[in-house]
Amino acid sequence: MCGIVGYVGHRDVVPILLEGLTRLEYRGYDSAGVAVVDRGGSVGIRRAAGKLVNLKTELADDPLAGAYGIGHTRWATHGKPTTENAHPHQDAAGRIALVHNGIIENFLELRSGLEERGVEFVSETDTEVIVHLVSSYYEGDLAAAVRRTLDDLEGIYAIVVASADEPDKLVTARQGPPIVVGLGENENFIASDVPPVMGYTRDVVFLDDGQLAVVTPDEVTIQDGAGNAVEAVAQRVTWDPVTAEKGGFKHFMLKEIHEQPTAIRDSLIGRVNRHTGQIDLGELNLDEDLANSMSELLLLGCGTSWHAALVGKYWIEKLAGVPVKVDHASEFRYRDPLVADGAVACAITQSGETADTLAATREAKDRGAKLWTICNVVGSMATRISDGVLLTQAGPEIGVASTKAFTTQLTCLYLIALKLAELRGRLSREAIELRLHNLARLPGQIEGIVAQADKIDEVARRVQHFKQFLFIGRGLLYPIALEGALKLKEISYIHAHGYPAGEMKHGPIALIDDGVPIVALAPQSDLYEKTASNMQEAKARDGFILAVATEGDENLADFSDELLSIPDCLPEFAPLLASVPLQLLSYYVAVRLGCDVDQPRNLAKSVTVE
């Protein structure tokens, strides 16, 4: 949802900004731009509609050099993705430049006020009002002008501002979307996320909501919302920068699918001991009292994370006997939800910065719930507002379509289900050990599925021409049908619908003919026979059947046109395994159709606006 970068220091600024934007392009790719202040004190701006490559071409044709500067890659909200609407935006005198991530809700009102005072607008964006306001308040102190401007703004923002009149200084502020300040030696960095700074420093400060920072090459000073000085608390990022690179894979998504065995192992390490049956979820702050007093668990998320929540509901209710409600965060926040006394709300969010999920969890907290977060980003807002955190150890996920973040979310939800079951006395030590033993086998089993990539690509070749797909599953596999359909939609733009297999006869079966393939999730489970019947009903209507079945299943092979297999497992673990062939199927269909897999149209990795 827009990526922003800033640099002050001794290096040539443009390459640093471009490299940073490249690492943030997953956040938006409708347009991009940079503003640089040169040693002579003048501001140079280059912007281009479309992907970052267009800006790079623009800069190659018309280079810029300078000492400090800011950059932006946009996911359009207000105004089309044109060059005029691309950031950075400037004040009328061309002395102040600004980049923004977020939405200013009262921009129309602010804009008319400025227009009445004679300000001329050159873009359709909400952002442009901010830079004109800063300029109108500027009296020789950029930070003070920004602080006054923030008082006028309603909405959410992360901004970085540069002024030609205050050399080697950037001012940044956040209310909602993230800002990370990277601390270097005689240089400092600003970015929307950690990857742009990782090549230079591992020491970062995550700004809090309402904070403003003044960043020079030698100093970072932070103020709270009232303008009081706040200590900058640095955190060390331990990710390996190489994991944020493609590492020989054609796309990040393919790399991230392959990384799932490692990501799941990393999410288990230090938390489970399969020999003793111990489960340690320390950071979640879940003890026997809480496990037994908890009246209900509310799982809140968006998109793929919501699908993880749906799987979590099956596990937690079955294993731990805790009632679970799952909500789309965007619905929960606006529907006057009932939150029982003793409820725990758990945000499931890869990024920890999805606006709807943050708002929903705050709503739950206001209604008395304790807050947990299952999150992949250390230091993100979701982790900071929660009473308990379980980090998915997926490492950076760059592909917009979530893969390893999803399966590690599932892993963490399963651990919560088991821990709750243990603390509530619902499972014996032996039953837990058996499950932990099988959980430890999953990474190896996923390696086996990934090794079938060529076979899955061949299936993709056979089905790529279909214009719509139905994905069906029952029980734990119903959410995986939803997720399989979402993956295909997101990256190949083929219409796909996920449905509970038992509901087919209540409507969707009307769609079936030889032009509608059915992807049926039918590994061995107590619902196997029922799903197989639903598949036969579809076959009887000429549907093309692509089954995901347990290895060696001869029965389904008889009436399936294609069959992808997953290893034999405890039925509880089928969601983790069955997700992987569906990810690969979507990936290969999208590649064959020539789609932009890592940066699908109209999407962004983290959605920091409503």
CB-wise, 212 or 576, nearer to ligand G6P? 576
CB-wise, 525 or 599, nearer to ligand G6P? 599
CB of 380 to ligand G6P, least distance (A): 9
Identified binder of ligand G6P from the candidate list 149, 402, 492, 586, rule CB under 6 A: 402
CB of 402 to ligand G6P, least distance (A): 4
Q: Terminal CA-to-CA distance of the chain, rounded, Å?
A: 11
* Residue in 402, 457, 413 with CA at minimum distance from that of residue 575: 413
CB-wise, 274 or 307, nearer to ligand G6P? 307
Residue 77 to residues 70, 80, 105, 126, 608, Cα–Cα distance (Å): 20, 8, 11, 9, 11
Identified binder of ligand G6P from the candidate list 77, 211, 243, 304, rule CB under 6 A: 304
Cα(296)–Cα(299) distance, rounded to whole angstroms? Answer: 10
CB-wise, 303 or 479, nearer to ligand G6P? 303
CB-wise, 212 or 494, nearer to ligand G6P? 494
CB of 377 to ligand G6P, least distance (A): 8
CB of 351 to ligand G6P, least distance (A): 3
CA angle 292, 376, 161 (to 5 degrees): 125
Identified binder of ligand G6P from the candidate list 130, 606, 608, 609, rule CB under 6 A: 606
Restricting to residues 355-394, name those near ligand G6P by CB under 6 A. 357
Which residue's Cβ lies closest to ligand G6P?
303
**Cα-flanking dihedrals φ and ψ of residue 347, to 5°?**
-80, 135
CB-wise, 17 or 589, nearer to ligand G6P? 589
Query: How many CA within 13 A on the CB side of residue 377?
Result: 25
592 CB-near residues (< 8 Å, 6+ apart): 460, 461, 464
Cα(513)–Cα(508) distance, rounded to whole angstroms? Answer: 11
Identified binder of ligand G6P from the candidate list 22, 90, 149, 350, rule CB under 6 A: 350
> Segment contacting ligand G6P (CB under 6 A): 150-158, 261-269, 576-584, 598-606?
598-606
> Segment contacting ligand G6P (CB under 6 A): 72-80, 203-211, 349-357, 430-438?
349-357
CB of 607 to ligand G6P, least distance (A): 5
Query: How many CA within 13 A on the CB side of residue 94?
Result: 7
Q: Is 403 in the site for ligand G6P (CB under 6 A)?
A: no
Cα(534)–Cα(340) distance, rounded to whole angstroms? Answer: 38
CB of 416 to ligand G6P, least distance (A): 17
337 three-class SS: coil
CB of 419 to ligand G6P, least distance (A): 22
Identified binder of ligand G6P from the candidate list 85, 172, 175, 305, rule CB under 6 A: 305
What is the layout of strands, in order, in the sheet containing 229-230? 89-90, 96-104, 155-163, 170-175, 212-215, 220-223, 229-230
CB of 598 to ligand G6P, least distance (A): 12
* Residue in 407, 572, 575 with CA at minimum distance from that of residue 480: 575
* Residue in 133, 149, 125, 167 with CA at minimum distance from that of residue 36: 167
CB-wise, 33 or 352, nearer to ligand G6P? 352
CB-wise, 128 or 256, nearer to ligand G6P? 256
Number of residues near ligand G6P (by CB under 6 A): 15
Q: Specify whether the CB–CB gap between 236 and 191 falls below 8 A.
A: no
- Surface-to-core class of residue 430, CB atoms within 10 Å of its CB (0-12 exposed, 13-18 middle, 19+ buried): exposed
> Segment contacting ligand G6P (CB under 6 A): 92-100, 106-114, 346-354, 500-508?
346-354
Identified binder of ligand G6P from the candidate list 260, 351, 373, 534, rule CB under 6 A: 351
550 CB-near residues (< 8 Å, 6+ apart): 523, 524, 565, 566, 567, 568, 569
CB-wise, 351 or 411, nearer to ligand G6P? 351
Cα(211)–Cα(550) distance, rounded to whole angstroms? Answer: 53
Identified binder of ligand G6P from the candidate list 349, 361, 534, 599, rule CB under 6 A: 349
Q: Specify whether the CB–CB gap between 479 and 307 falls below 8 A.
A: yes
CB of 400 to ligand G6P, least distance (A): 5
Q: Is 302 in the site for ligand G6P (CB under 6 A)?
A: yes
Identified binder of ligand G6P from the candidate list 9, 102, 303, 395, rule CB under 6 A: 303
Residue 52 to residues 61, 74, 555, Cα–Cα distance (Å): 14, 10, 51
> Segment contacting ligand G6P (CB under 6 A): 24-32, 56-64, 79-87, 302-310?
302-310
**Cα-flanking dihedrals φ and ψ of residue 70, to 5°?**
-135, 155
CB-wise, 76 or 222, nearer to ligand G6P? 76
Residues serving a catalytic function are 2, 605
CA dihedral for 471, 473, 475, 477, sign (positive or negative): negative
Beta-strand pair 188-191/96-104: unpaired
Q: Is 354 in the site for ligand G6P (CB under 6 A)?
A: yes
Q: Is 400 in the site for ligand G6P (CB under 6 A)?
A: yes
40 three-class SS: coil
Cα(440)–Cα(194) distance, rounded to whole angstroms? Answer: 30
Beta-strand pair 170-175/155-163: antiparallel
Identified binder of ligand G6P from the candidate list 340, 434, 593, 603, rule CB under 6 A: 603
Cα(393)–Cα(401) distance, rounded to whole angstroms? Answer: 17
Cα(342)–Cα(291) distance, rounded to whole angstroms? Answer: 10
Q: Is 163 in the site for ligand G6P (CB under 6 A)?
A: no
CB-wise, 89 or 605, nearer to ligand G6P? 605
CB of 590 to ligand G6P, least distance (A): 14
CB of 23 to ligand G6P, least distance (A): 17
CA angle 499, 504, 510 (to 5 degrees): 115
- Which residues lie near ligand G6P (CB under 6 A)? 302-305, 349-351, 354, 357, 400, 402, 603, 605-607
